[in-house]
Amino acid sequence: MATAASAGTPGIVSRVSSYVEWAPIIAGAVAAAAVSFVLFAFGTAIGLTAVSPWSGSSLPAWLIAIIASLWVLVAQAVSYALGGYIAGRLRAPMDDVLPAERHFRDGTHGFLVWALGVVISAVILGWAAGAILKGGAETTASIASAAAQTSGTAAGALTTTDPLNYAIDRLFRPGSGAPSAAPPGGNAAATASPATASTSQVQEADRSEVRRVLVAALSADALPPDDHAFLASRVSAIAGIPQPDAEKRVDDAFAALQKAKAQAKDAADKARRASAIGGFLTAAAALIAAAAAATGAGLGGRHRDENGTLRIFGRERFW
């Protein structure tokens, strides 16, 4: 690739078709990716042995996070240092330029090893994420379709798994041994049985109105007295319980919803902090990998020019 104008004379730059040799760069990037995969797989296996679904049987979460972060940093540094070394060692020697220029070009090749590895990793991760999202969307669609076919009614569409619907179910739950009064406009079936009506027989209009009142109260973080009195009256009429008991139900339900809201906000805040830490960790690992790749390429270039050898555990390697 290079033809010397005056070989062996320091400071005279040879005429070259390109200063960038992509074959060593690609070789180094592939080697770095392979070593990184092996190290991450090894780290994952070790991590799974330290985690247990049983309470008290695994390491603390903060300790696992610290160990995992350190492993990521070390794995990236080792992988790209090796990839950079390979690129620097395989690059064609250029004896007709100043040593500082040779070192710069070797380091640049190591940096390009890192850049190519990052691009390859981004493409692979993007493809994997797209495949996961596509599979998740298809699974969700199939589940929703099956649920729609089996429910058949609006009451069946209501879930008791979310705090709001569960709170409404508890509000309208019939009192023990007390018959339930039919809501205004309700059908006769709702009052035919002295065992009281179930929450599924409560009219959707009542549930919707109570839902709107509770959502507004949660947004304002307070339940106004008039809304409190209204909810207590509706609960007393529908569940067939005394007014004081209905008021207690309303207080308990709103307190439970406020607790669920606080827990959701806390979980969202923890997720935000975890995402921020993860972003900083990713950036730090990438910067350390770039420095390691450039350093490794510089070392490989020196060994190439000085006929040096790579020693690992005191022995000449490769391999």
Max CA separation in the chain (angstroms) = 109
Q: Which of 110, 233, 228, 104 is nearest to 181 (CA)?
A: 233
**Ranges of H-type helices in 221-242:** 225-239
Tell me the pLDDT tens digit for each residue of 164-206. Answer: 888 888 888 887 644 444 444 444 333 433 334 444 456 788 8
Name the DSSP letter for residue 22: H
Q: Is the pLDDT of residue 25 over 60?
A: yes
* Residues 113 and 22 sit within 8 Å (Cβ to Cβ): no
The reported pLDDT for the residue numbered 137 is 56
End-to-end CA separation in angstroms for the chain: 28
CA atoms of 237 and 245, how far apart (whole Å): 12
pLDDT cut 70: percent of the chain above it: 67
Residue spans of the domains in the chain: they are 19-148+278-317, 154-264
For the cut 60, the answer to whether the pLDDT of residue 222 exceeds it is yes
